[in-house]
């Protein structure tokens, strides 16, 4: 397995794909720093100033492009899919799969090694992005992070990697199920567009409005509608991760989430406490998110594993 | 399992969607021989090979390679068997050497040993100048040659080649066939699938013809020729100015002659061996002027076509 792992890593490092993703990392970091440069001076908060580096939203920039939303909706799914979509179908197209599997190795070590190598690259990308923003941001604002902020960032990193592993696992699953590279890529992308954009922006609000209409305008109806929508949206892994990252990076939580989705009802603003949650409470709040994401990742991997073990490998 | 039998299948059966592709196949391949597996497209050759390697599970029956059950102990079988698929593929971004390195490493061959092996093998298949060229730039024939080297790097007990000469130039074909023909001397048993019957005839010691998943006929080329043509393997055509029943009778009496047919002034003689000198002597002795004498040796083509015309 170590041999395959090493080869996969070498393949990634020398591929054009890696360079493109690296450029994406640099651009994301640069954009976030630019936002900080434009908007961070406007902040009046005195708590968690360092984390503000990751959440600042200057005027005129849509919420979709702030760091946490961008990472949840675009950056991580793209990297995950890019790393996984041709894992097995690529080998099948090039005809190498039957040659490799006729060597004395366990079949599962092929898929495990590919998954681990992808995870390694993914981690490099994510850590690079966060470190770039932290490093240059530190120069920009001159406020060192507190211990709690460091801990929150670290937890955020772990979350992000698990979230990325989910998308990669999904892409690998499709690369096993479908014979063609293009089919597996398109299916992964379609699922990403659905859950990342259509579902949370259009479908979930539509269902919530249909089931719990807010026409009479009472606070109770609005609350009901909001809760239903939140529940529905949590079916999207993108939203699940976004919610968790908001809690971690933007300690006065939940309210800002509603801003992203644009469903905030004026009556609710007073319902939210402006006080930041403590670290322990934040973690408690997102524990279900973590387990759900981890579960999704494990399910993807387990299904890939089972399908691959039973699959017949033919050269033609 | 008997001594000297390297590959043995018992009632091996596999079906896809209700269609039986391999049907109670019983195959025995002796150590250090070159076995040619023939048959029309879709006869079940590749499926049989996949089951031998443990890449596909048989529905019924067992396959044993070197005493190991292919389904239960695929790793032990794969350690001993080298397989070159019909559409052999390599990592295009890696050089020929790196591709072979990877396979050697998967087989736990030490680096120093594999380097030595790679140099030798690439020379044997005629690729020594392309060692450090990315495989993406290789032609089909070059990939085919690399595929042969790839099988041999692990010094297999059994080497399976599926269409090893497809896409090769004439020189490449003879190079590869020479290489394959020498393998039994080094203790490797070879199974070779090919549609080029002439090549199979050149290198294979014994031959099995598959059709619709069943073994139609199996044995050495001589045996097959005798079975397929009750007459024997050689046909000698004699043309004389006249033909007499007496001559026909005399010819029938020659030992080794199995059949004599007349066709005007032509005599068609079937024989076990090349009896041209004896026949010429008899014709001349009976004072009949000999016009022409031709000999046909049956090739595998004739045998193959005979079996498939009967279908």
How is the beta sheet containing B290-297 ordered, strand by strand?
A: B257-263, B266-271, B234-240, B290-297
**Which of B201, B225, B249 finishes a domain?**
B225
Q: Is A4 on the interface with B (CB under 8 A)?
A: yes
Element (H, E) at B8: strand B5-16
For chain B, list residues with pLDDT below 70: 1-3, 225, 228-232, 309-311
Q: What is the pLDDT of residue B214?
A: 87
Q: Is B107 on the interface with A (CB under 8 A)?
A: yes
B149, two tokens: 């080297």
pTM: 0.83
User: CB–CB of A68/A55 below 8 Å?
Assistant: yes
Q: Is B46 on the interface with A (CB under 8 A)?
A: yes
Q: What is the pLDDT of residue A315?
A: 52
d(CA B262, CA B237): 10
d(CA B219, CA A235): 65
| Domain-embedded: residue B310 | no
Q: Which of A103, A110, A113 to mutate to test the interface with B (most CBs of B within 10 A)?
A: A103
A134, two tokens: 């932290």
| Domain-embedded: residue B86 | yes
Percent of chain A with pLDDT over 90: 38
The distance of Cα A74 from the centroid of its chain, to the nearest Å, equals 8
User: CB–CB of B173/B199 below 8 Å?
Assistant: yes
B196/B98 same-domain check: yes
B51/B179 same-domain check: yes
B168/B239 same-domain check: no
Rg (CA), chain B: 24
B179/B251 same-domain check: no
- Dmax (CA) of chain A: 69
| Domain-embedded: residue B239 | yes
DSSP string, B61-112: EEEEETTEETTT-HHHHHHHEEEE-SS----TTSBHHHHHHHHHHHTT--HH
Q: What is the pLDDT of residue A261?
A: 41
Q: What is the pLDDT of residue A268?
A: 44
DSSP state of B186: G
Q: How far is B49 from chain A (nearest CA, A)?
A: 11
Q: Tell which residue, B173, B293, B184, has the closest CA to residue B235.
A: B293
Q: Which residue is closest to B76 within chain A, CA to CA?
A: A104
Q: Which of B55, B82, B84, B140 to mutate to test the interface with A (most CBs of A within 10 A)?
A: B55
| Domain-embedded: residue B307 | no
Contact B88 A102 (CB under 8 A): no
Q: Of how many residues is chain A composed?
A: 316
Question: How many other CB atoms are found less than 10 A from the CB of residue B294?
Answer: 11
B93/B183 same-domain check: yes
A100, two tokens: 């490799």
pLDDT digits over A50-81, tens only?
888 888 777 777 777 888 888 888 999 999 99
Q: Is A310 on the interface with B (CB under 8 A)?
A: no
B94/B183 same-domain check: yes
| Domain-embedded: residue B52 | yes
| Domain-embedded: residue B311 | no
Q: What is the pLDDT of residue A43?
A: 65
DSSP state of B134: B
Q: Is B150 on the interface with A (CB under 8 A)?
A: yes
Residues in chain A closer than 8 A to B85 (CB atoms) = 95, 98-99, 102, 315
pLDDT digits over A5-50, tens only?
999 999 899 889 999 999 999 999 999 888 888 877 766 666 777 8
HEC states along A170-191? HHHHHHHHCCCHHHHHHHHHHH
Residues in chain A closer than 8 A to B106 (CB atoms) = 3-4, 100, 103-105
d(CA B76, CA B134): 32
Q: What is the pLDDT of residue B1?
A: 46
Q: Which residue is closest to B104 within chain A, CA to CA?
A: A103
d(CA B185, CA B181): 9
In DSSP terms, B296 is beta-bridged to B235
Contact B86 A313 (CB under 8 A): no
DSSP string, B27-55: EEEETT-EEEEE-STTSSHHHHHHHHHTS
d(CA A121, CA A49): 30
In DSSP terms, B262 is beta-bridged to B267
Q: How many CA atoms lie within 13 A of B114 on its CB side?
A: 20
Average pLDDT, chain A: 84
Q: Residue A83: which pLDDT band, with cuts at 50, 70 and 90? A: very high
B134/B245 same-domain check: no
d(CA B222, CA A156): 75
B197/B265 same-domain check: no
Q: What is the CATH number of the domain that holds B273?
A: 3.30.70.100
B241/B287 same-domain check: yes
Contact B81 A102 (CB under 8 A): yes
Position A265 pLDDT exceeds 60: no
d(CA A252, CA A248): 9
Q: What is the CATH number of the domain that holds B136?
A: 3.40.50.300
| Domain-embedded: residue B272 | yes
Residues in chain B closer than 8 A to A105 (CB atoms) = 75, 78, 106
Give, in degrees to the nearest 5, the angle at Cα B53 between B116 and B219.
Answer: 100
Q: What is the pLDDT of residue B3?
A: 60
Position A276 pLDDT exceeds 70: no
B293/B219 same-domain check: no
Decide: helix, strand or coil at residue A142.
Answer: coil
Q: Tell which residue, A175, A285, A296, A169, has the closest CA to residue A236.
A: A296
pLDDT digits over A159-174, tens only?
999 999 999 999 999 9
**Burial (Cβ within 10 Å: 0-12, 13-18, ≥19) of residue B135:** buried
**Which of B225, B248, B268 finishes a domain?**
B225
Residues in chain B closer than 8 A to A313 (CB atoms) = 50, 55-56
Buried b (16+ CB within 10 A) or exposed e, B107-131: bebeeeebeebbeebbebbbbeebe
How is the beta sheet containing B19-30 ordered, strand by strand?
A: B19-30, B5-16, B60-65, B68-69
How is the beta sheet containing B189-193 ordered, strand by strand?
A: B81-84, B158-162, B189-193, B34-38, B206-211, B214-220
d(CA A168, CA A296): 11
Q: Is A102 on the interface with B (CB under 8 A)?
A: yes
Least CB-CB distance to B88: which of A11, A95, A106? A95
User: CB–CB of B228/B306 below 8 Å?
Assistant: yes
Give, in degrees to the nearest 5, the angle at Cα A236 between A235 and A242.
Answer: 120
Q: Is A220 on the interface with B (CB under 8 A)?
A: no
Q: Which residue is closest to B105 within chain A, CA to CA?
A: A3
Q: Which residue is closest to B90 within chain A, CA to CA?
A: A96
**Which of B225, B253, B284 finishes a domain?**
B225
| Domain-embedded: residue B38 | yes
Q: How far is B250 from chain A (nearest CA, A)?
A: 57
The distance of Cα B5 from the centroid of its chain, to the nearest Å, equals 17
B261/B140 same-domain check: no
- B104 phi, psi to nearest 5 deg: -60, -40
Domain tally, chain B: 2
Q: Tell which residue, A34, A86, A81, has the closest CA to residue A61.
A: A34
Q: What is the pLDDT of residue B148?
A: 92
d(CA A80, CA A67): 17
B153/B270 same-domain check: no
First-last CA distance in chain B: 34
Find residues 8-47 of chain A whose CB sits inside 8 Å of chain B. 11, 14-15
Q: What is the pLDDT of residue A251?
A: 61
Find residues 243-302 of chain B whose CB sits inside 8 Å of chain A. none
d(CA A98, CA B85): 7
d(CA A225, CA A208): 6
Position A97 pLDDT exceeds 50: yes
Q: Of how many residues is chain B composed?
A: 311
Q: Which of B49, B102, B110, B158 to mutate to test the interface with A (most CBs of A within 10 A)?
A: B102
Q: Is A3 on the interface with B (CB under 8 A)?
A: yes
Domain hosting B68: range is 5-225
Residues in chain B closer than 8 A to A11 (CB atoms) = 91, 93
pLDDT digits over A195-225, tens only?
988 888 888 888 888 888 877 777 778 888 8
Q: Is A275 on the interface with B (CB under 8 A)?
A: no
DSSP state of A95: T
């Amino acid at each position: 397995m170590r041999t395959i792992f090493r080869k996969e890593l070498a393949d990634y490092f020398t591929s054009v794909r890696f360079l493109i993703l690296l450029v994406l990392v640099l651009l994301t970091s640069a954009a976030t720093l630019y936002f900080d440069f434009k908007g961070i001076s406007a902040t009046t908060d005195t708590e968690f100033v360092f984390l503000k580096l990751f959440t600042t939203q200057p005027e005129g920039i849509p919420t979709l492009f702030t760091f946490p939303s961008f990472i949840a909706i675009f950056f991580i799914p793209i990297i995950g899919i890019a790393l996984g979509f041709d894992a097995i179908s690529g080998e099948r197209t090039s005809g190498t799969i039957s040659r490799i599997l006729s060597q004395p190795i366990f079949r599962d070590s092929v898929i495990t090694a590919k998954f681990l190598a992808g995870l390694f690259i993914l981690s490099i990308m994510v850590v690079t992005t966060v470190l770039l923003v932290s490093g240059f941001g530190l120069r920009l604002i001159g406020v060192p992070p507190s211990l709690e902020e460091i801990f929150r960032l670290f937890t955020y990193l772990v979350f992000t990697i698990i979230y990325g592993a989910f998308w990669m696992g999904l892409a690998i699953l499709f690369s096993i199920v479908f014979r063609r590279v293009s089919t597996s890529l398109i299916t992964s992308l379609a699922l990403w567009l659905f859950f990342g954009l259509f579902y949370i922006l259009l479908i979930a609000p539509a269902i919530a409005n249909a089931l719990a209409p807010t026409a009479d305008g009472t606070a109770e109806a609005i609350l009901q509608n909001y809760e239903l929508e939140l529940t529905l949206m949590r079916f999207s892994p993108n939203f699940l991760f976004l919610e968790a990252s908001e809690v971690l990076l933007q300690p006065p939580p939940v309210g800002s989430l509603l801003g992203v989705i644009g469903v905030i009802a004026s009556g609710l603003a007073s319902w939210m406490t402006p006080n930041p949650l403590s670290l322990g409470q934040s973690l408690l709040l997102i524990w279900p998110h973590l387990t759900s994401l981890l579960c999704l990742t494990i399910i993807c991997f387990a299904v890939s594993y089972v399908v691959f073990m039973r699959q017949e490998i033919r050269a033609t | 399992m008997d001594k000297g039998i390297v590959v043995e299948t018992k009632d091996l059966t596999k079906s896809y969607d209700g269609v039986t592709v391999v049907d109670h196949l019983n195959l025995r391949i002796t150590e250090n021989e070159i076995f040619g597996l023939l048959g029309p497209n879709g006869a079940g050759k590749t499926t049989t090979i996949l089951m031998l390697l443990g890449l596909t599970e048989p529905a019924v029956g067992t396959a044993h390679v070197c005493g190991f059950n292919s389904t239960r102990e695929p790793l032990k079988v794969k350690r001993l068997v080298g397989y070159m698929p019909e559409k052999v593929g390599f990592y295009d971004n890696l050089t020929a050497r790196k591709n072979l390195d990877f396979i050697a490493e998967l087989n736990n061959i030490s680096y120093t040993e594999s380097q030595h092996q790679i140099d030798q093998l690439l020379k044997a298949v005629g690729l020594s100048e392309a060692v450090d060229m990315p495989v993406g730039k290789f032609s089909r024939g070059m990939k085919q040659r690399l595929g042969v080297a790839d099988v041999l790097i692990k010094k297999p007990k059994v080497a399976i080649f599926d269409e090893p000469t497809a896409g090769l130039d004439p020189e490449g074909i003879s190079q590869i066939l020479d290489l394959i023909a020498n393998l039994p001397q080094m203790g490797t048993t070879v199974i070779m699938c090919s549609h080029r019957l002439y090549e199979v005839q050149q290198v294979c010691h014994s031959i099995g013809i598959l059709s619709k998943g069943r073994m139609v006929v199996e044995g050495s080329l001589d045996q097959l020729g005798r079975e397929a043509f009750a007459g024997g393997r050689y046909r000698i055509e004699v043309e004389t100015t006249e033909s007499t029943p007496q001559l026909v009778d005399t010819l029938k009496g020659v030992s080794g002659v199995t059949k004599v047919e007349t066709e005007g002034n032509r005599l068609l003689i079937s024989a076990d061996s090349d009896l041209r000198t004896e026949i010429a002597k008899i014709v001349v002795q009976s004072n009949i002027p000999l016009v022409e004498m031709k000999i046909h040796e049956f090739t595998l083509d004739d045998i193959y076509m005979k079996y498939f015309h009967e279908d």
